[in-house]
Amino acid sequence: MLFVYEDTEKRRKFKDKYYNYKFVGPSFFIRNSDNLNDILYLVEDKHYDHLIVDISNWIKDGNFYKVYFERFIMILLDNVDDIHFCIKESLLDEFLQWFPDFFEEKDIDKTYAKNEDVEENTDKEIDILNYIIPDKVYVYDRIQSLEKFDKKKIMSISELIDKYEGIFLRYDIKKIDEKLAEGNIEFIDITSLVQIIQLRSDILLQAELLFLQITSAYCNKFCIKRDYVRTLEEKFPYMFTEHEQLVKELEKGETEVDACKKDLDVNEIGRIADEINYALKGHDDFKTDFKRNLLKYSFLNNMGDRKIFSIIICGESGIGKTEFAKIVSEKMFPQEELIKINFGNYSTEGVLNSLIGSPLGYVGSEEGGELINKIKKSKSKVILIDEFEKATSSVYNFFYELLEDGIFTDRHGEKHDLNGYIIVFTSNMSQKMYQSHIPDSLKSRFDMVYYFVDVPKKEKQAFIYDSAMKLIEKLELYFGKKINYDYIKDELEKLVAYNNLRDIKRKVEDIVFIEFFREDS
């Protein structure tokens, strides 16, 4: 079956419907394979099934060999059980022109395609004489060089175009007005459009008209990656005659550098990881892996390659899962409240609305969602998602998109950037339930997946001692009464018989307070 979807929103609905399938692109197979035989060995060895392969990018790029592509598709069809394909609607005609015999009409599902035609802006009457010609463009070398600035000031022109179909650029000038005004956008990055124009000069006139309309109405500045400046000069010889450095222009108005974008101090990151690991009792293999992954993530995030560090921890209650998230927040963001979401508090209906807010017009829409409110309230960048097994498929899809992009859009259309955040998911799921319950697409987005087991006796003894001494010192500080640890040592040592650290901590408190209230102590 070939599924056809109109745009990103329709693709999201399509993925929600087929949540039990793993969505991949051709690169999923090609990245680890040098040739078609390697792909054949790969699919035979891995026994893939329940796959939907999105071939849109391959067709869009156009740089494929017809025979290679045909053989690639046939290998997948012959060797993967329950496999389907999907493609963006704007690329369907081109695909069928190249490969007319792959799918019969009855095997093409257009449920998520466009239902009605959109009026093309090119049919509208345009008064060119009243337009202002854009004469300046700001140039940058690498997108990473802009990381330290407020990137919310920059918007790609692709976000202003509703659709690109063949020789038509579809856009709504009123929507462009709203987006630029609401986002307080200063620069429009035209790199992506110039890349298309390199291959499709037939949309040159439409691009010129779009530039003229934007410049005349909003006086926004344009920017472009240096690699495409020559193409810009060739295709638009009467526009963009002046070039300036984008970084210098941003520096003029920049008053604050994002604290996350600084030179990496490996020793400092290692020290923080060691403090976290020391505070967490037991789980030695996890702690070793955590330190390594935290260091790796710090570098990837600094380079702009990984937005969020995600960890899912499963296991019985009271063995340190939520405690770990609390420790991470305390060590990395002292004095800040941990951002905690507990799906055990939600009903099964409207879970996503409770998380990120209801659409405008619905009851409670003005209140926002719990996640949004808590992010605004706390400066901690550690989020604990507790009882994750009680989430719904819509929530799983939400976190899939969030971990992929590092950004989510609430029900009011506002974007929230979680770059630099650590999200710890916890659950009482068994390993078997995890494999069957969590969609494969989401599993692939977790940086660490661990199953916590009971804490060893030695670690429990250390936990009991630390918990008791902290409480004893705090009672003395607040009330001036000192408790002798040796008096309660024997009672405390009996607590190693328990496995639930939460229960152990409560029993430690009971023993300490009994001694605290003893008149002769």
Per residue in 70-119, pLDDT (tens digit) is 888 888 888 887 889 999 888 888 888 888 888 888 889 888 887 644 33
- How confident is the model at residue 219, as a pLDDT? 59
Of the candidate ranges 225-229, 262-266, 437-441, the one whose mean pLDDT is the lowest: 262-266
Q: Is the confidence at residue 34, as pLDDT, over 70?
A: no
Residue type, 371: L
Burial class (CB in 10 A: 0-12, 13-18, 19+), 446: middle
Q: What is the pLDDT of residue 164?
A: 63
Closest CA to 312 of 409, 417, 501, 444: 444
Q: What are phi and psi of 96, to 5 degrees?
A: -70, -30
307: confidence class by pLDDT, cuts 50, 70, 90? very high
d(C-alpha 214, C-alpha 460), whole Å: 65
Of the listed ranges 8-12, 46-50, 171-175, 417-421, the one predicted with least confidence: 46-50
More confident residue, 519 or 470: 470
Question: 59 near 87, Cβ under 8 Å?
Answer: yes
Fold (topology level) of 266-451: Rossmann fold (3.40.50)
Which tens digit of pLDDT belongs to each residue from 295-306?
999 988 888 888
Which has more pLDDT, 465 or 135?
A: 465
Sequence-distant (≥ 6) Cβ neighbours of residue 23 within 8 angstroms: 15, 51, 52, 54, 86, 441
Cα distance between residue 473 and residue 481, in whole Å: 9
Q: What is the pLDDT averaged over residues 421-442?
A: 91
Burial label, 163 (beta-carbon count in 10 A; 0-12, 13-18, 19+)? middle
Burial class (CB in 10 A: 0-12, 13-18, 19+), 122: middle
For 117, counting Cβ atoms within 10 Å of its Cβ (0-12 exposed, 13-18 middle, 19+ buried), the class is exposed
Rounded mean pLDDT of 511-520?
Answer: 85
Summarize pLDDT for 325-380 with one digit per residue, the tens: 999 999 998 888 999 999 888 766 678 888 887 665 555 545 668 899 899 889 89
98-112, 411-425, 502-516: least confident range: 98-112
SS3 162: coil
Alpha-carbon gap, residue 410 to 359, rounded angstroms: 8
SS3 12: helix
Region 177-181: mean pLDDT is 74
Percent of the chain residues past pLDDT 90, beyond the cut: 22
428 in Cβ contact with 314 (< 8 Å): yes
Whether the predicted model's global pTM rises above the 0.85 cut: no
Q: In the structure, what pLDDT confidence band is assigned to residue 246 with cuts at 50, 70 and 90?
A: confident
Kindly tell me if the per-residue pLDDT of 252 is higher than 70.
no
Highest averaged pLDDT of the listed ranges 181-190, 223-232, 408-417 = 223-232
Closest C-alpha among 83, 5, 21, 7 to residue 397: 21
pLDDT confidence band for 148 (50 / 70 / 90): low
pLDDT at 68: 73
Torsion of CA 277, 278, 279, 283, to 10 degrees: 50
Mean pLDDT value across residues 421-446: 91
- Please answer whether residues 239 and 133 qualify as being in contact, where contact means their C-beta atoms are separated by less than 8 angstroms: yes
Q: DSSP assignment, residue 157?
A: G
Q: Are 254 and 170 in contact (CB under 8 A)?
A: no
Contact indicator for 213, 131 with CB cutoff of 8 Å: yes
Q: According to the model, what pLDDT value does residue 364 have? A: 52
Residue 2 — φ and ψ, nearest 5°?
-110, 115
Cβ pair 392, 352 in contact under 8 A: yes
pLDDT band at 155 (very low <50, low <70, confident <90, very high): confident
Chain-centre distance of CA 131, in angstroms? 40
- pLDDT the model gives residue 82: 81
Is 47 a residue whose pLDDT tops 70?
no
Query: What is the average pLDDT across 170-199?
Result: 80
The tokens of 134 are what? 């854009």
Helix and strand counts by DSSP (H, E) for the chain: 22, 19
